[in-house]
Amino acid sequence: MYSKFASLFFGFVLVAIISACNGSHRAVPKPINYQSKDFQDKLVNANQMYVKRESDEIDQYVAHRGWQMTTTGTGLRYMIVSKGKGPLALPDQRAKVNYKISLLDGTVCYSSDSTGAKEFLINQDDVESGLHEGVQHMRVGDKAILILPSHLAHGLIGDQTKIPPHASVMYELELLSVR
């Protein structure tokens, strides 16, 4: 039985090899010139279409919830939900925040409830650029909702643990202090 199976298998492999070598040759694809203006224009157009689609999805998310959010030039959406009385957060200050980071489908990724408050140097430390931008619209004591499009969050690759590639994220943020 084994020898019949082996003969049949090797017969199929031989037919496949002969078929592959029947003289038909595929054209070798032309190498891509990544420096060409045409390639760069196509890349820019594709990226603009992706950013527009993501922006539309965020707008639908916001509208569905009836939120009145401010949109910045970078695409960050923010809304102060509770006003504090402290000073405004400024570049180069150390901000301390309570936070909850979620995907727009409601999946909670990270929270200060489990990790403690986050501290970072505004416009300097390695946190999402949208967080740097968003916290500068806040005063100490403010609670806000920030929606970061993927290019202001974790971009093309995600954070490689809980936030997937190309994901918009929502921060529920409370600015505890600046110094």
User: Tell me, what's the pLDDT at 31?
Assistant: 86
Q: Please write the tens of the pLDDT for every residue from 112-153.
A: 999 999 999 999 999 999 999 999 999 999 999 999 999 999
- CA angle in degrees (0–180, nearest 5) for 143-106-166: 95
Comparing CA positions, the residue from 101, 112, 177, 174 lying closest to residue 144 is 174
- Least Cα distance to 146 among 129, 171, 166 occurs for 171
Q: Spell out where the chain has E strands.
A: 70-71, 77-82, 94-103, 108-111, 118-121, 143-148, 169-178
Domain ranges of the chain: 44-178
Which residue from 174, 166, 175, 171 is spatially nearest to 77, judged by alpha carbons? 171
CATH fold, domain 44-178, is: Chitinase A; domain 3 (3.10.50)
pLDDT of residue 7: 52
CB 177 within 8 A of CB 107: no
State which residues of the chain have pLDDT below 70: 1-26
Location of structure tokens 């920030």: 146
Q: Report the distance separating Cα 170 and Cα 53, nearest Å.
A: 17
> pTM for the full model?
0.79
Which pLDDT score is estimated for 18? 57
pLDDT (0 to 100) of residue 8 = 47
